[in-house]
Amino acid sequence: MSDLLPLGPGAWAFISLYLLSLIGVGWVAKKARTTDTLKDFYLAGDGFGLTVLFLTLFATQYSGNTFFAFTGATYRIGYAWILSLHFMTAVIVAYLLFAPKLHRLARQRDYLTPADFVQDRYANRALSVIVTIVMVIVLCNFLLAQLMAMGRAMQGLANDSGGTAYTGGVIILALIMVIYGTLGGMRAVAWTDALQGGILAIGFVILVGLLFDRFGPLSDATRLIVERDLLHGTRKALPPDAAQCRAWLSYILTVGFGICLYPQAIQRIYAARTPQVLRRSLALMAFMPLPTMIISLIAGIMALAYLPGLEGASADQIFGRVLREIQNHSTLGYGLVVVTLSAVLAAMMSTADSALLSISSMLTKDLCSNFLMPNASQAQLTRLGKKFSWSVIVVLIVLSLLLREKSSLVQLMDRKLDLLIQLVPAFIVGIRWQGLRGGAVLTGLIVGVTLALVLAFGEFSFTSAGKVSGFHPGLVALVPNLLIAVGGSMLLNFKSGTASDVGVAYR
């Protein structure tokens, strides 16, 4: 957002009041708590109704940062990034494979964290711990990226080429986030999700109209991109070639099965008030990829046609340039940008706080409660969870100030999903097939995670740009992971004649 026009005192006052109002939401959410328990703090007690659950699921799948990342990806790749419609739809398909049954089990067995299901299903403590560690690592990476994005956003808003605005943005926004999160827990996060989701939906619809008013029809932009393709030999407006088709398939599978396994997504499945609420929320979510992704696609295509010049990871700045064009175009555009940026900043904070809340719950419940403090009361554990939130955010603030991320936002998403997709056997296969064995799943998970990391960060003749012949390393690593988990389970079942380590909930 470094190309935005400098904001005046009125705009800064509006943004500041908007962000500080989130603490008020956290206070109201605290007052709504009925008991001082982990379930009430991390799952909002009896859970959410249709409206809040739908909006918080929507915010989990799409964050304010998504628009920056996906607009930048469209700018780099061109029309081929229309695949974002498909892989975001694939997330809903993946949810339907396991979410309804997982919700039923969660209500019957009082699950709080993802590892609660894993332990109940497989009765394998080592597997539960490894799953928790993988999820915590993924979410720390995710949260760090969100903090850095918030710092860059504030740096762009303040038009500061130095690091003062970045540092202040990270610290101030993170503090607001952790305050309202530790005040109201899951309720505060879900309610702020609903607020940001509603504002962003309205704001971006108006934004598309202003884009057409500023640049003209999409056909003119496409014609310019085609001419540039013919001149430079690129394919940004042409049908995908074989390599891009492989990338499409890889993204559809990796994103589809990865995002639905975010710990915060699983905990929202737990938090649905009834099975009917969950099914209706997922049904509504099935319609959201088209209107949501088409906005970033249009913005990216318009920018590619009329605002060329950015390459690589710097293309993630293009959304800021698009907003500058809207600012310059009309008074309405300037006002819209101020409101939209307020909601984008708050949405980044809400997304980050959702990850922080999940990290806190897993450290408290899966590690401390199970191993270090088995006799602690619910109130003690809840207070411990809040302390974990503050400790984690302090460490990540320091890291975000020390590091300068060079990767694009989409590349960061790729690395997280490479690890998350290794949990497919434990959750999706395990909930559909009773014969899956915990020992085989554990072995497959270790092999899959190790191979995914080696392929992602190693330098090999068969890898390029972090991909293996166009496929995500995590998707390639999932193949031996699945073979070991399924094949090993079949072999063990054949030898023993029974799936002896199936957990209590499945007997």
Rounded alpha-carbon distances, angstroms, from residue 469 to 248, 312, 461, 475:
12, 20, 10, 12
Average pLDDT, consecutive stretches of 10 residues, N- to C-terminus, the chain (507 residues): 60 83 88 83 84 82 70 86 86 93 93 94 94 92 81 65 74 88 87 78 79 89 90 82 83 90 92 92 88 86 87 70 77 79 76 87 89 85 89 89 62 79 96 93 96 85 73 93 96 74 51
Q: What pLDDT shows up at residue 222? A: 92
Q: What pLDDT shows up at residue 120? A: 94
For 34-53, give the secondary structure using H, E and C: CCCCHHHHHHCCCCECHHHH
For 118-162, give the secondary structure using H, E and C: HHHHHCCHHHHHHHHHHHHHHHHHHHHHHHHHHHHHHHHHCCCCC
Domains, in order of start, for the chain? 9-404 (1.20.1730.10)
Tell which phi-psi region holds residue 403, choosing left (phi > 0), alpha (psi between -120 and 50) or beta: beta
First to last CA, the chain: 55
Query: In angstroms, rounded to a whole number, what is the distance separating the alpha carbons of residues 26 and 49?
Result: 19
Q: What pLDDT shows up at residue 155? A: 65
Query: In angstroms, rounded to a whole number, what is the distance separating the alpha carbons of residues 319 and 298?
Result: 11
**What is the CA 283 to chain-centroid distance, rounded?**
20
Contact 254, 417 (CB under 8 A): yes
Look-up: residue for tokens 């993204």?
A: 251
Q: What pLDDT shows up at residue 507? A: 47
